[in-house]
A and B are shown apart, each in its own frame.
Chain A
Amino acid sequence: MKLWRRGWWLLVLLAIVVLGWRYVGRDDRQASSPVQREADVAALQDPALIARGEYLATVGDCAACHTARDGQRYAGGRSLGTPFGDVPAPNITPDPETGIGQWSFDDFWNALHQGKGRQGELLYPVFSYTSFTKVSRDDALAIFAYLKSLPPVQRPDTALGLEFPYNVRSSLVAWRALYFKPGEYRPDPAKSEQWNRGAYLVQGLGHCNECHTTRDALGGIEQGRHLTGGQIPQLDWYAPDLSTQPGGGLDGWRTQDIVDLLKTGQSTRGSAFGPMADVVRKSTQHMTDADLQAVASYLQSLPPRAQPAPAPFKQAASHEQGGKLYAQRCADCHGADGRGVAGVYPPLNGNTSVTEPTGINAIRSVLLGGFAPATAGNPKPYSMPPFAQQLNDEDVAAVVSYIRQSWSNRASAATPENVGRFRNTPVD
């Protein structure tokens, strides 16, 4: 009986895969009319378009992935880790041999919008085309014009770091059938222009959802979990829920707090660190005030989140020890009351980075210390000492548990095992 049922499921699955393959695998790349093509080619030289493209490429943070740490901008080479192996970001400077020098706008549009390479090969979704598919054709053209205007850099692409079966690109067919729906952003006429702009930026070019959500075992994003927060695979940081309503990760954040964080890297509610610091420094700090306001107003409109039934609050046995450590090591900056110093040291009371479900962010912040990102709005940030050398796993767990369970914070305790696990996580 059991065997039969399993066999049946397999059959259904096979049928889905085969049908899906035929449907999704079909060549649905779009080609524009010759007239359109000529118009596009002419437009590519327009300095105004190029300038807009530069701004949009910054909002899309394309350079962050398409630049190796010590490499030339947009020349590729940075390896992006996934649970299935490393995918290197290619060279997207207009070098004819190693970059996108020979690409037409159609090719580019198909990459951004359909997730397909120049030969129609399926691209891996570490390239955030699941979000970029929402980018409008006009904006894509501007980005393309900008990339084409860059000095070409000859740098052959790095080989894929994936093993079988993941290195077979067509295996992505099934994945795409499950998780990828191409389609430009459709404005909601019931909402304001500002809201629509915000939604377009957050869901599309800003690709906030690529980090701020939970992925399942196949690396896909489940429907309905948009921006509800999750641990970023491989990076081991937790990107919090972005709702400002009750139960949301940004509960109580005002529009101005969001704008401050994205523009300066710090706000009265918390500061950016880890991958978010990178996003702020390279991308969001350069956004116009109007766009930042739009993003914030969209985030403000995210619905309240279901609050889990209040688990019985259990204070860590190490609370007292944690309190002592806190008074010695942390209170000078973050304050005995956990309120921090506005504009200098982030508060820990009511800070989502402290209370997020996993405790990873607080643990790693304590181990690594560091500066908020240096931005035009906060050019000389203050810093926090790393405590990895000074505190052992028990002490880190105690002080993290203490901040997660003091003042108004009511999160779970951290364990020394957890601390040990993240002590040696690569910082990248």
Chain B
Amino acid sequence: MVVVVVVVAKERLMSPAGNGARPAETGAKCVRAGVESGNMRSTLEGRLRCGQQIHLQLFGWRVRIVKLRQVVAIGHLPPVDAVRPAYNSRMIRLDSLRQRLRRHVLRVALVLFAFGACGAAAAQTGAAPAVPDTMQQRVAACTSCHGVHGEGSPDSVAIPRLAGKPAGYLVQQLEYFQTGQRRHAPMEYVVRQLSPAYLRDIADYFAQQDVSYRKLPVPAVSAETLRRGEQLVMRGDSTRGVPSCVSCHGGKLTGVEPMMPGLMGLSYDYLNTQLVSWRTRQRAAEGPYCMGVVANRMRESDIAAVSAWLASHEPPADMRPEPASAQTEPLPGWCVMGKSGAAQ
């Protein structure tokens, strides 16, 4: 089978976002690159080093690989249109690489391999460590609290799961943390200097994660409390003007695309904190506000009751939010998301 490798080079090609502003050194993240073909692999692996200029013989074509810089791809190169959006950024690079190579009249079937960033190779020799060019690596700050796939934290019931939640909802929460409408100091600091576009990417990353739910601790409460909880969740309490939670959060309480979060798989503490923080205005404080209205119409004991029922309810196997069209009833007029617009 064929072969090859990798990576290249010129600033214009490799610099992030394709802007030529960054100087050669800053973009420099090197790779170890290799060729998958019998013994050739090891030879190359040994030979390629960061910043090195190399030449390769490829079916008689001489390919110059200028200064190795970055991992280009892992595995087989799919056709461009089959590329999943999540991999876009990497594929764009690949794409321009391919175009470049085409321009150089290199008509070979290229299979790109990269055996890890050059840093990894270099680490043994004391140089920089490996840095995968992935969203997962970029959001290391988030995953240190929320888990690598946003599955939530095993150490803290106060840190919510993010995986699989509607992307629109996640973005909006991140914006609230940015503007201080939702308060949590470490969250506020971490998202403060990010652009709307990047917040969107980050939200998409977590929305696309598909990991199983962990069993959460079930609070010890009376059967009476649980019954009250179930009543509020499933039917609401018309005497207090509290609509049922299912009327907005989806029949299976798994949320509704693109904005409505689910209520399953959240811990008792987290649910309780959120409902209280709408009352104390720690969360999206200003303006007529959906959950602010709901939470304020409940009794304090009701908050504990719904949280307890929700936390002890076995989540359904399919936790995906319902598609938007499945939502029959529009949200009531007083349900406004934040200050600026109506939900959905």
Contact = CB atoms under 8 A, between A and B. Distances in A.
A427 B189 contact: yes
Interface in A161-204: none
Given A371-B193, A373-B193, A378 B138 contact: no
B193 A277 contact: yes
Contacts of B127: 335, 337, 339
B145 interface: yes
A383 B193 contact: no
Interface in A52-102: 69-70
Interface stretch (A7-15, A205-213, A259-267): A259-267
B194 interface: yes
B198 A260 contact: no
Contact of A69 (B17, B137, B180, B197): B180
Residue of A70, A331, A333 with highest tally of chain B CB at under 10 A:
A70
A264 B19 CA distance: 11
Contacts of B145: 385-386, 389
B1 to A, nearest CB: 33
A344 interface: yes
Interface of A: 69-70, 256, 260, 263-268, 277-278, 281, 331-333, 335-337, 339-345, 368-374, 376-386, 388-390, 426-427
Contacts of A377: 17, 19, 21-22
A260 B129 contact: no
Contact of B144 (A69, A260, A369): A369
A248 B339 CA distance: 47
Contacts of A426: 185
Contacts, number: 139
Residue of B27, B128, B131, B139 with highest tally of chain A CB at under 10 A:
B128
30 contacts: A69-B180, A256-B23, A264-B21, A268-B26, A277-B192, A277-B193, A336-B126, A339-B127, A341-B131, A342-B28, A343-B25, A369-B144, A369-B190, A370-B141, A371-B141, A377-B17, A377-B21, A379-B195, A380-B89, A381-B138, A381-B194, A382-B131, A382-B140, A383-B190, A385-B144, A386-B144, A386-B145, A389-B145, A389-B156, A426-B185
Contact of A386 (B26, B129, B156, B190): B190
Residue of B131, B143, B145, B197 with highest tally of chain A CB at under 10 A:
B131
Contacts of B141: 369-371, 383-386
Interface of B: 16-17, 19, 21-23, 25-29, 89, 119, 123, 126-129, 131, 137-145, 156, 178-181, 185-186, 188-190, 192-195, 197-198, 201, 286, 339
A377 B181 CA distance: 29
Given A379-B17, A383-B141, A333 B190 contact: no
A373 B261 CA distance: 28
Contact of A370 (B28, B123, B189): B189
A295 B179 CA distance: 31
B138 A383 contact: yes
Nearest to B186: A386
A389 B145 CA distance: 9
Nearest to B196: A374
Contacts of B19: 376-377
A165 to B, nearest CB: 31
A349 to B, nearest CB: 12
Residue of A267, A340, A371 with highest tally of chain B CB at under 10 A:
A371
Contacts of B126: 336-337
B128 A340 contact: yes
Nearest to A426: B185
A369 B188 CA distance: 12
Given A69-B179, A371-B193, A380 B198 contact: yes
A264 B27 CA distance: 12
B200 to A, nearest CB: 11
A241 B185 CA distance: 29
B286 to A, nearest CB: 8
Nearest to A343: B26
A250 to B, nearest CB: 16
A122 to B, nearest CB: 31
Contact of B186 (A339, A374, A383, A388): A388
